Amino acid sequence: MRKVDTERWCAAGALILMACWFPFHAAGQATRDEGGRYYADNGEPTYHIAQDGQVDWFTFSGYRRYHAQCHMCHGPDGEGSTFAPPLLAPMKTMDYATFRHIVIHGLRTVGPAQQRVMRAMGEDRNVMCHLPDIYVYLKARADGVLGRLRPNNHQPKSEAAALDDAACLGSQ
């Protein structure tokens, strides 16, 4: 009898723990902050959106870079166009390594019915210097936590981020 009670309490306790834990660890939500860059438990780069809606600097940077480098094909906000498929559905599950590989090497599907070609951008520093930023922006869009508009409420750019940019872009 006592044992059954204990099991019941444990089951209830586990449910309460899960209920509390899940909302804060929803897909992609950050758990580690390294100098303004956020990472999920599994080490993947991710976004951070504060209670008041303020996004981290890199998610904002990703918004800008996406609209400079990718949106002419993938459409505003990753929703797709006649040139290229939407990115929101695939980005729900795509890890950073796969994403990086596609952008560096490009992707093509050439068949009798259709030709879809994305050029390799591994040599383009305007893309590569900001690739994690574009990734976390698209993740936030794919997870449905960031709207279509420019996220003007964002953290300021840190000195470290400015130095990183200068070092990466300056070595062209």
Quick one: which of 11, 72, 160, 169 contacts ligand HEC (CB under 6 A)?
72
Confirm or reject binding of residue 142 to ligand HEC (CB under 6 A).
no
List 115's β-bridge partners, or say none.
110
What's the min distance (Å) between Cβ of 25 and ligand HEC? 25
Confirm or reject binding of residue 127 to ligand HEC (CB under 6 A).
yes
Kindly report the backbone phi and psi dihedral angles of residue 47, in degrees, each rounded to the nearest multiple of 5, phi listed first.
-95, 170
For residue 59 the two structure tokens come to 């998610």
- Cα–Cα distances (Å) from 134 to 19, 26, 64, 112, 115, in that order, read 31, 20, 8, 32, 25
Mask for 92-121, x = binds ligand HEC (CB under 6 A): -------x--xx---xxx------xxxx-x
Alpha carbon 115 to chain centroid, angstroms: 27
- Please name the residues in contact with 46: beta carbons below 8 A apart, sequence gap of 6 or more: 28, 29, 30, 38, 39, 40, 136, 139
Mask for 52-71, x = binds ligand HEC (CB under 6 A): -----------------xx-
Measured from the CB atom, the residue of 36 and 85 that comes closer to ligand HEC is 85
Confirm or reject binding of residue 85 to ligand HEC (CB under 6 A).
yes
Burial class (CB in 10 A: 0-12, 13-18, 19+), 21: exposed
What's the min distance (Å) between Cβ of 156 and ligand HEC? 24
**Count of CB atoms situated within 10 Å of the CB of 150:** 12
- Cα separation of 70 and 76, whole Å? 9
What's the min distance (Å) between Cβ of 24 and ligand HEC? 28
Measured from the CB atom, the residue of 102 and 145 that comes closer to ligand HEC is 102
Confirm or reject binding of residue 37 to ligand HEC (CB under 6 A).
no
Binding site for ligand HEC (CB under 6 A): 69-70, 72-74, 83-85, 87, 90, 99, 102-103, 107-109, 116-119, 121, 127, 134
